[in-house]
Amino acid sequence: MEKTSFDANLYTSLYPKALRYARSRVPDPTFAEELAHDSLVKCFTKRVFEKAENEESYLIRVLQNHILDEISLRNRTTPQLPEGQDIPSPA
């Protein structure tokens, strides 16, 4: 099968696997869907499936790195309260 920049059949076959992996790593289902989709788009955009021998394992590696990057980014941008301090209640 010739691999093109976008293959709807390949996307359709890989998305459920990517989503299942993302949901096993991320508690928020919507965030997991975004990560799975973004990773597939990244693979197609960069045309990595053209040179990959096993598209599924390559996608999972890209997804794994994307999850780690996003979690790291969220941890950096989420303000941390000093030790022992609580979030004030709304009045």
pLDDT, one tens digit per residue, over 29-58 is 999 999 999 999 998 888 877 777 888 888
Residues 6+ apart with CB under 8 A from 11: 40, 44
The one-character DSSP state at 54 is -
Q: How many whole angstroms separate alpha carbon 7 and alpha carbon 27?
A: 29
Summarize pLDDT for 55-74 with one digit per residue, the tens.
888 899 999 999 999 988 88
Give me the amino acid identity at 83: E
Residue 76, phi then psi, degrees to nearest 5: -75, -35
> Which pair of tokens denotes residue 71?
């979690």
